[in-house]
Structures are given as C-alpha cells and as structure tokens.
Chain A
C-alpha cells in the first residue's frame, strides 16, 4: 500500500516539476512580455496542480488522510493565475510596452488610441 502510494505520488510530482521547468525555460526563451505570460500562466498553473495532486494522493493512499486544504489550494491557484497573467499583460499594454518585432497584427491599437482621446 505504502509503496504504491510512493510510486503514484512520485510520478505526479515528477511531472509537475518537469512542467514547471518548461515554464521557467519558456520565460527565458520567449521574446516579449505577452508571449512570456503565455508560458508563465499555463505551464506553471498545471505544474503546481500536478504537485498538489501528487501530495494529495500520497497522504490519501498511505495514511488514509483526505486533505481538503490541498483541494482548496488547487482551486485558488486555478482561479488566480490566469487573472494575474491578464492583469500583467494589460498593464504592460497600457504602459506602451512594445510587442516583439515578429508580431504581425495588433487590433487593440486602434481601439486603445481612440479610447485615450476620449478620455483626453
């Protein structure tokens, strides 16, 4: 019983760390704020999710202890991480942080400029 718990939890936690590592590499490799927040929001959310699920399963199988706090942690990470990415990229756009050079389209620009004029 205990060994199977260790194997299952080990697989989940390993997957989670690998995904977190991918997210970190993405932060280094991608060209601008917006593409970086792609990597940061998606991969790190799922990385944390896998690690927390691994921990949950370990304590559930080996000690029969069901931790509601871990479930709540998963839900809170899920609710907050994308909002954080949205707010950061929106703030970057409003502070005129340029898109990377290979960007091909920017439909927000027209709307944004019109809007700024209205506000004066």
Chain B
C-alpha cells in the first residue's frame, strides 16, 4: 500500500515538472492522473489497489461515529433512570485479529462504543476481556462486535 502511494506521489511530482507550475492545485491534478495510472497498471504492482482500502477506512470511521453517538445516548438513558437495573460483568471475547496494531485498534473502538469497555488483553493476543454494562446479551454483543468492528478492521488490514 505504501509503495503504491509513493508511486502516486512521484507521478504527481512528474506532472508538476511537466506542466512547470509548482502549485498545490497542479499537485492535486497530477495526483488524480496518478490514481488513474495506478488503477490501470494495478496488475504489475504488488498488492491490491489502495483506493479500495481508503474507502474501507472511511467506512470504519463512519461506523465508529455512529456507535459513539449511540453510546452516549445509552449512557444518558442509564444515568437518568432513577434506579438503573444494570448487571455489569466481564466477559471474554475470542479474537480473530492477530497483530498488535489490529488488537489496539479493536480495543480502542470497543472502549468508545455503547456498554462495553476493554479491560485487559491476554498475553498471546487471542482474547480480549471486556467489561459490559449489561451482561444479559453477551452472545449477542459478541456477535455484533464481530460483525461490525472486527470485520471492518480485517477488511482494512488484509
């Protein structure tokens, strides 16, 4: 991915040299031409076309903002109920993501979503221990986390 971006920037610089205008606008124009070239010559460059990955990253950010708003609404509801009947607890989430970077990102996203807070990671990176506000629907929430975040992260990194 980094290699493709580097190629793209070099093409943009070449475009600036060819048109002899050294402005930000001409860099952008060159970058768009470079994007087309990288897309066309994708077969000869290692890895997938990186535009796909950029789209997935944007999708991940949108999912994240939605979950953040929902989490605040649920906290608000919880705090303003006179006697909240919550059943907190810690459950284990088996992980599919492997590298340190992916686990960090997942723990981060889980911490900012409704009713869950990551408490610890096991030493061999295969389980994440999550504190939940309402333990009732553990299986369901595991499934939800797997469907939304883990899938989105895997799509970005692989």
B91 and A105 contact, CB distance less than 8 A: yes
Residue numbers in A under 8 Å from B145 (CB-CB): none
| B13-21, B47-55, B127-135, B149-157 - interface stretch | B127-135
Residue numbers in A under 8 Å from B119 (CB-CB): 34, 86, 89-90, 93, 108
Residue pairs across A and B with CB atoms within 8 Å: the count is 105
Within 8 Å by CB of A89, from B75, B79, B89, B117, lies B117
B71 and A108 contact, CB distance less than 8 A: no
A106 to B119, CA, bound (A): 12
A110 to B74, CA, bound (A): 30
A86 and B89 contact, CB distance less than 8 A: no
CB of A70 within 8 Å of the partner chain: no
Residue numbers in A under 8 Å from B79 (CB-CB): 22, 25-26, 29-30, 39
Chain B interface, DSSP helix/strand/loop, else mixed: mixed
Interface size on A, residues (CB 8 A): 39
- Chain A: CB-nearest residue to B133: A38
- A:88-120 near B, CB below 8 Å: 89-90, 93, 99-100, 102-109, 111-112, 115
The 6 closest A-B pairs by CB, nearest first: A105-B89, A82-B111, A107-B92, A108-B129, A108-B90, A34-B131
- Beyond the given pairs A42-B72, A89-B117, A108-B129, 9 more chain A to chain B contacts, judged by CB atoms under 8 angstroms and listed by A's residue number, are A22-B79, A35-B133, A83-B108, A89-B119, A93-B119, A99-B88, A104-B88, A108-B92, A108-B119
